[in-house]
Amino acid sequence: MTLLEKINHVRDQFNTDLERISDLKSWEELKNTYLGRKGLVSKLFSRIGDVPPQERKTIGQALNSLKNELQNQVDSLLQTLQEKVDESHNVDYTLPGFPIFKGSRHPLTQAIDEMLSIFARLGFDIAYGPEVETDWYNFSSLNLPLNHPARDMQDTFYVDEGIMLRTHTSPVQTRYMTQHKPPVRIVAPGRVYRNEAISARSYCMFHQIEGLYVDKNVTFADLRGTLELFCKMYFGSDARIKFRTSYFPFTEPSAEVDVSCFLCNGKGCRVCKNTGWLEILGCGMVDPNVFKAVGYDPEEVSGYAFGLGVDRSVMQKLDIPDIRMLFDNDVEFLKQF
């Protein structure tokens, strides 16, 4: 057989073999057999030296075109095979992709983080206390001795005698003061528990942020200035605050603070029930008996404290009609925020 005949023979053989290729493994073998480094095509090339010089050009061209032809066929076969694999996996590249939902922080966590960062900028440290609390910290240290009628203000979940789920974050005040000397400037976020009838407006667990500032010569004006600044930073620069006299055993004098409604700016609307104001916190000047309980001298230091209800503010701000929605952990609901 002449070299030219061999070239044509290899081509025919390739075309026959090509018909039988049905998967990537046999395709790989075919490619190596013909186009590999020691494949049939390169064997033919190695014999070009035996060809008489006047024929070399023709043979060379025939070899090159064989090589290109085979390469093209091998390439297009690969594409066909890959398409077949995709089809067998039922991949339809024209379909839209599956959306990836990003998780987000719970709206209450977002609000608490935002409030804490405002207080942090005003120089407050963050303190924490346990949710299971002793009677002394939850009540007695806060000027609510045993049999004090004000204990009935908060319906308590008892864990054991003298042990309860804290009914407010105020015990973090006395916990902190027993461990630190004045001056003290803290905010304490956390869950609190009350045995109340569950409804759209009240739940057995909710969130507060406690504030406490104790130093020499702390006045009610300091309290007012701090709360006003906080409200402007959190609710918006138009926010105004109003103090109403109130009673808490651990502060004297005591007050409740309303902030002008962020939605109607005080004109009256659905969110503020036409009052123009939203109740946000209780506060006052730390009662001397609280200082005595933690070993501070009420003649030396004075201080203010406040307790901010987080859940209702979040409900008003985000227009959430039922407090239970905050605790159902329904992802469809939560992913809106």
Which positions touch ligand DAH (CB under 6 A)?
Answer: 168, 170, 210, 248, 251, 282-284, 305-307
| Sign of the alpha-carbon dihedral angle for 183, 186, 191, 196 | positive
HSE on the CB side for 109, CA within 13 Å? 7
Residue 190 tokens read as 């956390």
Minimum gap (Å) between residue 251 Cβ and ligand DAH: 4
Residue with Cβ nearer ligand DAH (158 or 333): 158
**Ramachandran region, residue 246 (left: φ > 0; alpha: ψ -120 to 50; beta: rest):** beta
Cα gap 68→276, rounded to integer Å: 84
Q: Least distance from C-beta 282 to ligand DAH, angstroms?
A: 3
Toward ligand DAH, which CB reaches closer, 174 or 316? 174
314 and 107 Cβ atoms separated by less than 8 Å: yes
Q: Cα–Cα–Cα angle for 32, 34, 36, nearest 5°?
A: 40
Strands 251-260 and 158-160: unpaired
Closest residue to ligand DAH in the complex (CB)? 307
CB closer to ligand DAH out of 190 and 266: 190
CB of 213 to ligand DAH, least distance (A): 11
The SS3 call for residue 286 is strand
| Shortest reach from residue 337's CB to ligand DAH, in Å | 26
To ligand DAH, the closest distance from the beta carbon of 222 in angstroms equals 14
Q: Are 204 and 198 in contact (CB under 8 A)?
A: yes
Nearest to ligand DAH of 170, 260 (CB atom): 170
Nearer to ligand DAH, 7 or 290 (CB): 290
Minimum distance from residue 208 beta carbon to ligand DAH (Å): 6
Closest CB to ligand DAH among 170 and 313? 170
Which H or E element spans position 300? none
Cα 205 to chain center, whole Å? 21
